[in-house]
Structure 1
Amino acid sequence: MPSVPRGPAGLMILANLVNAVGTGLYQTVSALYLTRSVGLSAAELGLGISLGAAAAVVAGTPLGHLADRRGPRNLLVVTFLVQCAGSVCLTLVDSFPLFLAVSVLTGVSLAGTRGAQGALIAQLVPADERVRIRAVMRQTANVGLAVGAMVAGLGLVADSRPWYVGMILGDAATFALAALTTMRIPAVAPASRPHTGPRLAALRDRPFLTFTVLDGLMSMHFYMLELALPLWIAGATNAPRWVVSVLFCINTVCVLLLQVKATKGTETPAGGARAARRAGLVIGLACVLFAAAGGRSTWLAVALLALGALAHVAGELWQSAAGWSISFGLAPAHAHGEYQATYSTGLSLSRIFAPPLITVLVVGWGAPGWLLLGVLFAAVGLLISPVVRWALRTRGADAEPVAEARA
């Protein structure tokens, strides 16, 4: 684990860590709580999650703009508190309409959190340190997720409503604690906006929007590990099912140890584009290895799956570093909240479309589906480089210095 910096950056990392513990609690028990205790069907659960993600897509850029105009720290505190209220309300849900309302509320507030957090990093951290701070935040967040998941295991063992409610209220408490931690960060003055130029400029920035869509397509790989691989291992390989846990452990350990190192060379958008190209190619290779595991002997299947997991996490590390570098480097100095929020909509779009698409390809088509996914990831990685060059050619005088240096 890297050393955690002091000062405002350290407080941001601490707030993110606390929030991640709550996320680990919630992600581990929410599906069972909402289906077994509340009584939602699997279809209702999926629909509610998708509509919450869609609300995040719609609200993200305007909330990021608000962070720039009103100051990102205050908005970040508000969004943490709204998510705290949403978690509390979740314990009172007894029907699909109420769950949908909470899902939309938390989706919108999460979009605001992403934009405000990005703007706060841009305001308080030197340009050449932003990607590294993002990497440290991701590493420590993985620790928080693991801690939250282990604690939530108590709720899974008990399998009762009081335990589930307790875990979700624990998630609410972490949002409140994250808000209190964020309040210790010095207030940041609103960004100075030029007198000319359109509002919500990120939505008119075609190169940046194109990158956001491509990054969202690349982000579908997260659902390979969470959704596709467990189904593939159980239904099409001779590998024991406990291998799923091993692959998750490989991913978690590699992120903890290597995420900061993976940011080397991504200090500029051009460097980020090179990392994205590598990411697409190695994630494509991972898909080929996963496909090859189908029908093999037990230990050959295990070996191929482990190699695929290593290739996948290498791509994940590079893609994350690339996304941070490019999204910070292409944003005008006065609109980091807006651009960071717009960038995060790619992940929200992935959350909407990736689960059904990947399930159809892997479960419905088998090995050919894996190979098609591999081609898709490789192609997206290769496309990001020309899109970033296009974006750099369009940057004006208000672009970040790190972007200008590479233009």
Structure 2
Amino acid sequence: MSERWFPAAGPARGLAVAQLVNSVGDGAYYVCSALYFSQVVGLSAAQIGLGLTVAWGVGAVAGVPLGHLADRRGPRGTAVALALATAVCAAAFLTVRSFLPFVVAACAYATAQCGLAAARQSLLAGLVEPGGRTGVLAHLQSALNAGLALGAAFGGLALHVGTAGAYLTVLALDAAAFAGCALLLARLPEPGRAEVPVPARGPAPGVLRNGPYALVASLNMVMLLRMPLISVAVPLWIAEHTAAPGWTVSALLVLNTGAVMLFQVRTAAAVRDLPGAVRTVRSGGALMLLSCAVFAASALDAPLWALFAVLLVAAGLQVGGEMRQSAGAWQIGFDLAPAGRQGQYQGFFGAGVPVARMLGPLVLTTLLVTWGPPGWLVLGALFLGAGAAMGPAVRWAERSRPTAPAMAAVRPSGPPSTVR
């Protein structure tokens, strides 16, 4: 198994394989879910949008307490339980036939997904030395994109068949993929056999009182508006503001996915400490500004070949900025979190993902589709500003980082789940 695609043999590789497996289910689900809920369940577009917005909002809030649970009870067992819960929630979609059950199932699905992300990050922190975490996360991102591509291919077949049975098969695949992920996570070693600090008991998870870390997470959340850019905003932009053919969207999606698979690990290799991470995020913001400016230029009258070239350049700059922002943010999110609280801190830092899924489409379509080229420049300025502000915010968070008195050092006699 090539180390370009997976880490060296060991726990990190197990994490990457588990990521690949559940991403196959995610890819198939993302391609088919909207049509399933509209054509089979019978929901309107407004109902689907409202339900998913509520669901990801609930998931964003649930990430911190579920990450805190991973810190207290052990990240491996928590991750396994949440992967199984995600599988059950995906299977529940098979029986949904009206709006209220859809919202309940979607909220449970998003909650389990966000909690799983936090617990998995906590598990990674316990299994991988600090210096190697960003590199492992880069491998996980490559595995994620590979799995999404495979899953999207299965989803495409279901779309081609177009029957209720085909859509139900995709949802069953998603459930099976998360069950497989749970089995793979259960095979990993339990971290915490050595002496480790664990959170002292308190009235609330410490991350909720850490203002500097919250600022860093908020700046990262702004930069995560890039997530729905290539999948939601750019297709609408191409359709409404350019003369490019519809297949251009597929070409740009292939470019994005392929570039992350091939170059994310190489991009992350240069990030080894907080100063390097800050520089990487800052340069990622600058690339995103350039990308937005080039996308804005695609509204100009030009021959089709020139228009296609402009869109390719814009998408290339966008994915370059995306990879740099991701690599730097991973290092920052881990390094600023105190030992023993990685679950809750990663749950809070990772809340930017469901928030981007929840608010990103509305913000981006308003800026880009409604405002046109000026909206692209505003968005680019947001990326540049958030990247530039990350340096002062990280330095403040580093000075204010919780110290040892807030922690209690213990030597567990068994897995972390035995610590009380």
TM-score bracket for the superposition, by shorter chain length = over 0.9
Alignment of 1:159-178 (within 5 A): 159-178=162-181
Q: Does the residue aligned with 2:269 lie in a helix, a strand or coil?
A: coil
Of 27, 31, 44, 1:28 maps to 31
Q: Matched residues in 2 for 1:369 and 1:349: separation?
A: 20
Alignment of 1:316-331 (within 5 A): 316-331=322-337
Q: Post-superposition shift, 1:107? A: 1.2
Q: Post-superposition shift, 1:395? A: 2.1
Of 311-320 and 150-159, more deviation after overlay is shown by 150-159
Residue aligning to 2:65: 62
Q: Does the residue aligned with 1:193 lie in a helix, a strand or coil?
A: strand
- The answer (yes or no) to whether the contact 2:84–2:179 under 8 Å persists in 1 is yes
1:288 equivalenced with 2:293 (yes/no): yes
Q: Matched residues in 1 for 2:404 and 2:145: separation?
A: 35
TM-score, normalization by structure 2: 0.92
Q: Matched residues in 1 for 2:48 and 2:185: separation?
A: 31
- The answer (yes or no) to whether the contact 2:43–2:99 under 8 Å persists in 1 is yes
Residue aligning to 1:276: 281
Q: Does the residue aligned with 2:351 lie in a helix, a strand or coil?
A: helix
Q: Matched residues in 2 for 1:74 and 1:373: separation?
A: 41
Alignment of 1:42-61 (within 5 A): 42-61=45-64
Alignment of 1:262-273 (within 5 A): 262-273=267-278
| Backbone CA RMSD of aligned residues | 1.5
Residue aligning to 1:254: 259
Q: Post-superposition shift, 1:294? A: 0.3
Of 300, 306, 316, 1:310 maps to 316
- The answer (yes or no) to whether the contact 1:290–1:305 under 8 Å persists in 2 is yes
TM-score, normalization by structure 1: 0.95
1:112 equivalenced with 2:115 (yes/no): yes
Q: Matched residues in 1 for 2:312 and 2:381: separation?
A: 20
Q: Post-superposition shift, 1:162? A: 0.7
Residue aligning to 1:222: 227
Q: Does the residue aligned with 1:91 lie in a helix, a strand or coil?
A: helix
Q: Matched residues in 2 for 1:63 and 1:107: separation?
A: 12
- The answer (yes or no) to whether the contact 1:272–1:325 under 8 Å persists in 2 is yes
Residue aligning to 2:79: 76
Of 41, 45, 50, 1:38 maps to 41
Q: Matched residues in 2 for 1:188 and 1:63: separation?
A: 18
Residue aligning to 1:14: 17
1:135 equivalenced with 2:141 (yes/no): no
1:202 equivalenced with 2:207 (yes/no): yes
> Identity across aligned pairs (percent)?
38
- The answer (yes or no) to whether the contact 1:51–1:104 under 8 Å persists in 2 is yes
Residue aligning to 1:404: none
- Cα deviation code 1:116-162 (max 9, x no counterpart): 10111110101100000000011011111111111121210111101
Report how many residues are paired. Answer: 399
